[in-house]
Structure 1
Amino acid sequence: MKRSGILNAELSGVLATLGHTDLLLVVDAGFPVPRDAHRIDLALAENLPDLRTVLDLIADELVVEGVVRAEDVPTHNPRLDAWLQERFTGAEFTTRPHAEVLGGLARQAKAVVRTGAFEPWGNIGLYCGVDAPRWFGRKDIVVPEEYASKL
């Protein structure tokens, strides 16, 4: 039996397939997941599981280089935005129009993870990165400019 981390087989498997720049979308209970998306449905009941718990567990297993959320999040759900900024320190934060998160961004995602969250604007995209010190930490390697500050 797996000792720790994410126990859901489908989610754990998808996380293992993600590579640099891949997008994983973690969404609330009401998100309109596209029919052709790789949907991982974790929702059991209202706020089971909640958005922050799922994001927190995923963050423990992924290198997150970028976080994208609806442009409404900073003003309309500032607690969520503050939590994201604290949890994903060092990631680049961007916003998109809410309609784009529901449409175009969902179609770009390698997988969409549906939580039970009743969280306004609770749809968060995570762009995968690389562990810069492990990839570029040797003396004989030229470090790309975008990773120099992470060494």
Structure 2
Amino acid sequence: MKRGRILNAELNHAIASMGHGDLMIVCDAGFPIPDTTWRVDLAIEKDLPDLGQILSLIASDFVAEKVGYADNLPTNNPVLLDKVKTLFPDADHEMTTHANILGAMAAQAKVIVRTGAFDPWGNILLWSGVDVPKWFDKPGVIAPPEYARKLKA
């Protein structure tokens, strides 16, 4: 059997298919997923699985270079924002409008993972990154400034 925590074959495949800069959206149960986007549907019933469970599993097996969320999340769902910041502390964080997440970002996503979450503004953008210490560990390789700061951390 696989050693990692994620047992779902399609979610494992989605994570393994992500390249540097690719976008994964982990969304709530009500997210309007475009028909043309790869959908990993994990929703079973209200809050099963919940967004925190799935984000925790993904965080254990995925390098997120940048994390995004709706600009009203800090005000309207600060508990979820705290979870996201705790799970992805090394990632850059940015906010955008909820409408942008539902439209342009959904259209750009390589994969959208649907949870059973009934979480207002529970749509989290995860851009795939690299494991900086492992990527820049060869003798003579110099990390660019945006990665050099992560090497020092």
- Structure 1 residue aligned with 2:52: 52
Measured on the aligned residues, the alpha-carbon RMSD in Å equals: 0.9
- Structure 1 residue aligned with 2:26: 26
Q: Which runs of 5+ in 2 are unaligned?
A: none
2: CA distance, partners of 1:32 / 1:143: 39
- How far did 1:3 drift? 3.6
- Structure 1 residue aligned with 2:132: 132
2: CA distance, partners of 1:93 / 1:125: 10
* SS of residue in 2 equivalent to 1:150: helix
Q: Report % sequence identity.
A: 50
Query: Is 2:18 the partner of 1:8?
Result: no
- How far did 1:62 drift? 0.7
1: CA distance, partners of 2:139 / 2:87: 30
- Structure 1 residue aligned with 2:104: 104
Q: Which digits, 9 at most, give the CA deviation of each residue in 1:14-33, with x for residues without a partner?
A: 11010111110000001111
Provide the TM-score with structure 1 as the length reference: 0.96
Query: Is 2:37 the partner of 1:42?
Result: no
> Which structure 1 residue ranges, 4+ long, deviate > 3 Å from structure 2?
none
CA contact 2:41–2:115 (8 Å) conserved in 1: yes
2: CA distance, partners of 1:24 / 1:46: 22
Provide the TM-score with structure 2 as the length reference: 0.95
- How far did 1:2 drift? 2.4
2: CA distance, partners of 1:126 / 1:3: 23
1: CA distance, partners of 2:129 / 2:47: 28
Q: Which runs of 5+ in 1 are unaligned?
A: none
Question: How many residues were matched structurally?
Answer: 151
* SS of residue in 1 equivalent to 2:139: coil
- How far did 1:86 drift? 1.5
1: CA distance, partners of 2:129 / 2:84: 17
Q: Which digits, 9 at most, give the CA deviation of each residue in 1:87-123, with x for residues without a partner?
A: 1112111111111101110111100000000001000
Q: Which digits, 9 at most, give the CA deviation of each residue in 1:5-59, with x for residues without a partner?
A: 2111111111101011111000000111111110110000000000000000001
Task: From the superposition, tell whether residues 41 and 90 of structure 1 become closer, same or farther in structure 2 (CA, over 3 Å).
Answer: same
Read off the aligned partner of 2:132 and give its amino acid letter.
A
2: CA distance, partners of 1:122 / 1:64: 17
Query: Is 2:59 the partner of 1:68?
Result: no
- How far did 1:131 drift? 0.6
1: CA distance, partners of 2:42 / 2:85: 24
1: CA distance, partners of 2:2 / 2:91: 29
1: CA distance, partners of 2:132 / 2:4: 24
- Structure 1 residue aligned with 2:117: 117
